[in-house]
Structure 1
C-alpha cells in the first residue's frame, strides 16, 4: 500500500472484447486469418523486392522496409490479442505492458517518418527526374531508412518511462485491446497534465510534421503532374503516387484522431476501433494496395510464380 487507498499496480487487465463473450472463438479465427494474411502479404513484398531486378530501385527499397515494419508493428499487438482470446486470460504484467507500449510507439513513429521519406522519394522522381539518380543513391536511401528507424527510439523510450512513472490506483482494468497511451492515462490517479502535454508534443513531432511534409510534397507533385504534356505520363505519375497516398490517409487519419482528440471525447469503444484500424487494418490492406495497383509488382510476382 502506498498510503490510504492507493495500491501499487503490478499488472493490468486488458478487457479487450470481454463484452462479447459469445464471439470469442469467432474473433480469434478472424484475427488469426488477418495476422497470417499480414505476414504472407508483406512477406511476399519483401521477397519480391529482394529477388526481382525490376524492383531494385529506391522506391521498392523503401517499400520492402515498410513491409518489414508492418510485420513488426502488427506482431507487437496481434499475438498477445490472440493469446487473450484463446486462453481468456487478460492479465498483462506491468513490465510487459510497458515494453509493448514502447515498441508500439517506436514502430509507429518509424512508420510516420518512413511514409514521409517515401513521399520525398516520389517528389524527387516526379519533380526532379534528371537529378533523381544522383540524389536518391543507395547510400542516401540507407541513411534515410536508418534515420527513420532510429530517430524516435530515445524519444519514445522517454515517453514510455514518463507514462509508467505515474501512480495507478482504484482499478487496473484497461478498456482496450492492447497497452496504449489514452487508456493508461485514464487509470492514472496522479496529475497527468505534463504527460498529456508531452504526448501532444511528441505527436506533433512524429505525426503532424511528417504529415505536413507529405502534403507539401504531394502538392508539388500534383502541380508538376498537371504540367506534363502527355496523358500517359500523367496517368503513370498518378498511378505511382496513389497507392502511397491511400496508405498515408488511412494511417495518419486514424493515428491523428486517436492521439490528438480532446480527452473528454475519448470513449472506450471508439478507441478500440481506431487502434484496430491503424494497428491491424492498415498493415493488412497495404500489400493489396501496393500489389494490385502496381504493374511492376504484378510483373515481378508473375515472373516469380512462373519459376
Structure 2
C-alpha cells in the first residue's frame, strides 16, 4: 500500500510540474527600473491600487531631456533590428518580433493626434514603449503599432482585419489590445465584435475613457481581463468617472478580472509612461 501511495504522489507531482511548465509568462526585462513606486492604498483585494507618482522623480529624474528622451539605462536598442514597417492594404503599421508563430500578440492603439510612430518611440514616455517592444521580442511575441482611419467603424474594421491577419499566423497567441486615451473607443468597439472577442487575451486602457455598453459586450461575457490605468489629475477623462466604471464592472460581475491603478497626481499621459507592462500582461496570461 505504501509503495502504491508513493507512486501516486510521484504521479501527482509530475502532473503538477507539467502544468506549471506549460504556463507561459513573460521573462523579466528591466523590471527594477519599471516597477511601480510605493503603493499608497488598495481595495477590492488588491484589484484597486493607488500608486505614488511624482513628476520630479518619474519625469525629471528619469529622463535625460524631460518628456523627450529617457535616460539610456531605460532602453535597449537591440530591438530595432526586429522592427519593420508594413502595410496591410492601406493600413500602415510597425511590427516588432515574430510575425508568424508568436506566443503572444500585443497591439497599441494611439489616441487623438497620435500615429503609428508613437507606439515604437524608444525614448518618449519614459522608455515604456521600448520596454514592451523588448518584452515581445525577447519572449517570441509580436508587437504591433498601427495607424487607422478614425476612432469609429472604419478604425474598428481596420484593426479587426489586422488582428485577423496576424492571429491566423499565430493561432495559439492571445491578443492583448492596449488603448491610449481616445483609442479606448476602438478597444470597446473590438470588445463588441464576437469574432475579435474570441481572440482577446485582455484590454489595457491607458488614460482612456469609460463605456457602459462594454457590460453587454461579447468580451465582457467571456470575462476578458481589463486593466485601467488613470492619473488622478487627468483633465481629459476625469479619474472619478473611470473609477465609477471600474465599480460598475464589479457590481455586474463581482469576480470579473479587472484591475485599476490610480497614479496619484498623475495627468493624462501618466499611465502610458508608468504602467508596468510585464506585471499587467503576466496577470492577464494567468486568466486564460
Q: Which structure has the larger Rg?
A: 1
Q: Which has the higher contact order (CA 8 A, sep 6+)?
A: 1
Given the two structures, how large is their TM-score scaled by the length of structure 1? Answer: 0.25
TM-score (norm 2): 0.26
